[in-house]
Amino acid sequence: MSDTPTRRTILAGTFAATSLLGLDRSFAQVPIGATPECHDADAMTPRETEGPFFKPASPQRTELLEAGMAGQPMELVGFVLSRHCKPLGGALLDFWHADDKGDYDKSGFRLRGHQFSDADGRYRLRTIVPGAYEGRTRHIHVKVQAKGGRVLTTQLYFPGELKNRSDGLFRRELLMRTADASGSLAARFNFVVEAG
Ligand code: FE
């Protein structure tokens, strides 16, 4: 199909920026792979509650990891797709999550940031693995919106978490695929949203 991403790999392009911050952390290069698996093309990414900690007007950035920040580094990559598997460039993705102790930054924008998918519908987020907190399993909040489309608010989950079983919000369809790679967690998730 000509409108799907070809086999390619996203190479880490911001090592320079990382070293400027003096971070002694290396990220795995997460292969974003071939055409997304779209056998479920009609299934939109499920919506979930926004929760109490969303803040509008987050900074535009793909790197949430800051110097001195505790926690395991993590890189999340994927595509924003229409229900027909068409990659959606210019889609807004706004991420927010807890720190490694399970606390949200309520006064500032630590571990909060928005970005836009590239022309091929790809996005990439570098951050840390959030901590679980009272009553919740480990998760990342996100709002995704295709250009001119409706905002989809949802949450992403980590495989292999014991608390996934007891968290009433947990949904298997919102599990990221993850792999450990040299100390950092490589994660992947493709969003399927209404095209604008
Ligand atoms: Fe939360």
Q: Give 66-75 pLDDT, tens digit per residue.
A: 999 999 999 9
In a domain, 145, yes or no: yes
In a domain, 155, yes or no: yes
In a domain, 14, yes or no: yes
Q: How far is the CA of 156 from the centre of ligand 1 (A)?
A: 10
Q: Could you give the 3-state DSSP secondary structure of residue 13?
A: coil
pLDDT digits (tens, 9 = 90+) for 85-125: 899 999 999 999 999 999 999 999 999 999 999 999 999 99
Q: How far is the CA of 105 from the centre of ligand 1 (A)?
A: 11
The phi and psi torsions of 82 (rounded to 5 degrees) equal -85, 175
DSSP 3-state percent helix, strand, coil across the chain (nearest 5): 5, 30, 65
How much is the average pLDDT of 129-155?
97
Q: How far is the CA of 103 from the centre of ligand 1 (A)?
A: 9
Domain encompassing residue 33: 7-192
d(CA 196, CA 100): 35
Q: How far is the CA of 150 from the centre of ligand 1 (A)?
A: 22
In a domain, 116, yes or no: yes
Q: How far is the CA of 94 from the centre of ligand 1 (A)?
A: 14
In a domain, 2, yes or no: no
In a domain, 13, yes or no: yes
Task: Give one DSSP letter per residue of 46-113, joined into a string.
Answer: PP----TT--SS--B-SB---TT--S-EEEEEEEEE-TTS-B-TT-EEEEE---TTS---SSS-TTEE
How many structural domains does the chain have?
A: 1
Residue where the block lists tokens 């996005």? 123
Q: How far is the CA of 133 from the centre of ligand 1 (A)?
A: 8
- CATH number of domain containing 118: 2.60.130.10
In a domain, 32, yes or no: yes
